[in-house]
Structure 1
């Protein structure tokens, strides 16, 4: 029986830069950062397994993956092009105060696409990570 989601893959253009963005700017914590050896079919020898977790949720790992991990070179190139265009939206990051978190993250250098705005479901702002992935930062209404 499936019990919960443990890992989500987020493709990034540069793993070192992504690690810095997710930890220094978003406040995530590093889970694993290691090099996997031979025997991982399609990943190439020595691919890097890098995970980060949102503060207070260490059981959910974001795998900050190089697009080459598990993909043919031509497919990895397409993924990189789509990343750079901001074609991927990776979900909603919850906060209890969207406006305050918006200000804090802006001060840390996070680039927002949309300032906090009232929505039927709460207050939402959107931003891109340093690779182009788009996230919704959302404060849900208390009754939701």
Structure 2
């Protein structure tokens, strides 16, 4: 029986830039930053209140996952903002929105009340977009 999800991957254009974004702008904690063979790096971060969930910042490179032209195609799709990867929660959306905006996080939608809750939409430095919500 499956008990839980421990890792999820976000495809990024550059791991160093993604490290800066997720750690220094979003305030995530680095769980693992280790070499994995020639030119490879295993980099995972965690939301501060959820250390059991590792987010792998996965570079888009030709190799095991992407064959032939697939890496270039995937990089282009990520740059275009094709992927919405998740929903992050916070206690005070307005305060978090202002804090992240001041750190340079780009928001596609300011805090807005919707039928399903209160949310803002932002993109990471690669183009992946996320919802940032506040629980009622």
Normalising by structure 1, we get a TM-score of: 0.89
1:102 pairs with 97, 101, 105, which one?
97
Describe the superposition over 1:45-81 as per-residue Cα deviations: whole angstroms up to 9, x where unpaired: 4421110000111110110001126211411111100
Which residue of structure 1 aligns with residue 71 of structure 2? 76
C-alpha displacement of 1:5: 0.9
RMSD: 1.1
Which residue in the other structure is 1:90 paired with?
Answer: 85
Is the aligned partner of 1:24 residue 2:24?
A: yes
Q: Does 1:115 align with 2:115?
A: no
Counterpart position of 2:126: 131
Change in Cα spacing, 1:73 to 1:29, as seen in structure 2 (3 Å) is farther
Please, which runs of 5 or more residues in structure 1 have no aligned partner? 38-44
Contact 1:121 1:140 in 2 (8 A): no
Task: Tell me what 2:45 maps to.
Answer: 52
Q: Which 5+ residue runs of structure 2 have no aligned equivalent?
A: none
Q: Which of residues 34, 47, 58 is equivalent to 1:65? A: 58
What is residue 7 of structure 1 aligned with on the other side?
7
Contact persistence 1:126–1:136 (CA under 8 A):
yes
Q: Find the residue that maps to 1:62 and give its secondary structure.
A: strand
